[in-house]
Structure 1
Amino acid sequence: MTATSIGERHSVAEDNLTPSDSAILIVLMAEARPMLNTELKSRYRIDVVKQRREKLNRLQLVHSERSGPTYVHELDDKGWMRVHEDLDVSSPKARAIGGALAAVHLNLRDRVLPRTEYHNLAEMFSRTDIAPPEPRSSLELRLRNAYAALATGPRAWVALARLRPFFEDVPRAEADGALRRLARAPDVNLAPEDNQKALTDADRAAAIHLGGQDKHLLAIGV
Structure 2
Amino acid sequence: MAKRKRTNNKDRTNAVAEKQALAMWTLLGDGGAGFGGKLTPKIEKPERDALLGAGLITVERRERGALLLTVTDRGWEWAEHHLADPLPQRTQGGAFVLRAWLSRLQKFLQSRQLRLYELFASDETEEAKPDPSTEYGKIREQIRAAYREAAGGFDRRLLLRNLRPRLAGIDRELIDSTLLRMVREGEASLMQLDYRPDVTDDDRAASIQIGNEPRHIIWIVDR
TM-score range, shorter chain: 0.3 to 0.5
The normalised TM-score by structure 2 is 0.37
The normalised TM-score by structure 1 is 0.37
Which is bigger in relative contact order (C-alpha 8 A, separation at least 6)? 2
